[in-house]
Structure 1
Amino acid sequence: MTRVEHPPEFVTRADGVRLAYRYLRGKGPTIIFLPGYMSDMQGGKAQALAAWAADKGFAMLRLDYSGCGESEGAFENGTLDIWRDDVLAVIAQATVGPIILIGSSFGGWLMLLLAEALGDQVIGLVGIAAAPDFTDWDFDDADRATIAATGRIERPSDYGYDPMVITQGFWQSGQRNLRMTGKIGIDCPVRLIHGQCDPDVPWETSLKLAAALRSSDVQTIWVKDGDHRLSRDQDIALLIDTVTKLAC
């Protein structure tokens, strides 16, 4: 597959912050990739999907949340609500039709909020090591005390982000947007891909998410030797096959 890159387009928020996106126009529903926490639209999975979409003529939208990648703003000002609204602003400017949302890790939490906001416009979801509610299950009492006392917590990262910063504002927004506390009112087809050797997001999280979703068309796909990134050639091939079946 040939990768064709072009300069980003921008949408300007009411506060003047410019949000970067790349919109490949084509057939079928628009495939929208939602990066993970502290990631951006130039990551390996996003690039591979864009190359596949270009080769097959599918529409695809990539974007950077404020404070990430090529978008303006400060990362530490970001929250779930703000980044959800960033994505909605880009979707509105790009004037896309039916949508398939692909959420990687943190992006898998964001895709739930977006699917609720966009309703029937979303015709499918694909989670890649989806991490909804991680402010609830990935923080112990000591972490919460540190966030309350200092306004932030820093963690080492194996993914090139050193340190990984989580602010009190983001943590509080996470607690306001917990989704696996009851039934999640989403009815479209959902596919959840998760590596069973994921050291960051337990694969059981996808099992719990599948049970919480109201949709009757939910499939969990386990990669027995898969890690958190799921960026190997065989992982990318699985992702593309999964998206193809939803898009066609």
Structure 2
Amino acid sequence: MTDPRFHALPDGRRIAYRHTPGSGPAIVFLPGYMSDMAGGKATAVFDWAMAEGRECLLLDYSGCGLSDGDFADGTLSRWREEVLALIDAHCAGPVVLVGSSMGGWLMLLLGLALGDRLAGLVGIAAAPDFTEWGTTPGQKADLAAGRTVFEDNPYGPEPTPTHPLFWTDGQAQRLLESAIALTCPVRLIHGQADPDVPWELSLRLSAQLRSDDVQVILIKDGDHRLSRDGDIALLLRTLAALA
């Protein structure tokens, strides 16, 4: 892995990133909610890209990992702006977006913004619209009233917060109720033992995408993280075949 560098946005936000040059299209990894570029899947993709001489970009959203900011201020719109700024600054040609969980929602929003520069999408337990299907009516009422919701976190000691700003923005960014105007090749990998994001959601997403080149890959015993050696090997094979 290369050492992290920092990209300064016009408002002073400093976004941590790692970039390795190489042949294209550039592979851009989008972490999940409260995750960062130090995760196992992100580092595996970056290491593979370096070994293969492929261009790759990792980053931490503001309020996450090494980047500046408060997580409570984070929204899909804000993080989309940051990723677009880094792509424009460091990737000259087409890109393949790899999105994990919430990153799979963000990759769709970014894909719509990138237009002809988008060469492909790889979703890993992609979770579009989870502010809608992932919150109860009571939680929605609390969030709409400006109250942060906390839930048990199976992946760490601290509860997982959902902040009102993120939820409100997410509700405005929902995609699954209508056709999604993306025509690039798409690969959706999902574990059928995922306790957090129903695997059927990848089938629903597949149906809504305008592209005819969509494949859904189900792993019967796969969990949400899909970080086992075999899961990562499948991800890298899928990425190599697509990119």
Stretch moving more, 128-137 or 90-99: 90-99
Give the whole-Å Cα distance in 2 for the aligned partners of 1:96 and 1:166: 35
List runs of 5+ in structure 2 lacking aligned partners.
none
Q: Deviations over 1:180-205 (max 9, x none)?
A: 01000000000000000000000000
How many matched pairs? 243
Distance 1:57 1:51 in 2: 10
Which residue of structure 2 aligns with residue 96 of structure 1? 92
User: Contact conserved, 1:155 with 1:162, CA < 8 A, in 2?
Assistant: no
Consecutive unaligned residues in structure 1, runs of 5 or more: none
Provide Cα deviations, 1:13-58, integer angstroms capped at 9, x if missing partner: 2221100110111112100000000000000000111111111111
Aligned to 2:66: 70
4+ residue segments displaced more than 2 Å: 148-151
Report Cα offsets for 1:130-170 as digits up to 9, x if no partner: 00000010111111122234521111111226221111110
Q: Aligned to 2:17, what secondary structure does the other structure show? A: strand
Moved more, 78-87 or 154-163: 154-163
Q: Percent identity?
A: 56
Task: For 2:58, give the aligned amino acid.
Answer: R
Find 1:141's aligned residue among 120, 133, 137: 137
- Distance across 1 between alignment mates of 2:128 and 2:242: 22
Q: State the alpha-carbon separation in 1 of the partners of residues 114 and 146 from structure 2.
A: 36
1:188 aligns with 2:184: yes
Pick which of 154-163 and 37-46 moved more: 154-163
Q: In structure 2, what is the equivalent of residue 47 of structure 1? A: 43
Using the size of structure 2 for normalisation, the TM-score is 0.98
Q: Deviations over 1:190-240 (max 9, x none)?
A: 000000000000000000000000000000000000000000010001000
**Is residue 117 of structure 1 aligned with residue 104 of structure 2?**
no
Match of 2:196 in 1: 200
The 8 Å contact of residues 38 and 161 in structure 1, kept in 2 or not, is answered as no
Amino acid of the structure 1 residue aligned with 2:98: I
> Would the aligned equivalents of 2:33 and 2:101 in 1 still touch at CA under 8 Å?
yes
Q: Distance in 2 between matches of 1:136 and 1:145?
A: 12
Query: 3-state DSSP class of the match of 1:85?
Result: helix
Asked whether the equivalents of residues 190 and 217 of structure 1 are also in contact (C-alpha less than 8 Å), the reply is yes
- Is the contact between residue 36 and residue 103 of structure 1 (CA under 8 Å) also seen in structure 2? yes
2:74 is matched by which residue type in structure 1? Answer: G
Question: Helix, strand or coil for the counterpart of 2:62?
Answer: coil
Give distance in 2, aligned partners of 1:10 and 1:201. Answer: 32
**Residue among 32, 49, 52 paired with 2:28:** 32
Task: Name the residue aligned to 1:175.
Answer: 171
Match of 1:217 in 2: 213
| Contact 1:20–1:71, Cα closer than 8 Å, also in 2 | yes
TM-score normalised according to structure 1 size: 0.96
Q: 1:163 to 1:180 in 2, by over 3 A?
A: same
| Alignment partners' CA distance in 1, 2:128 and 2:33 | 12
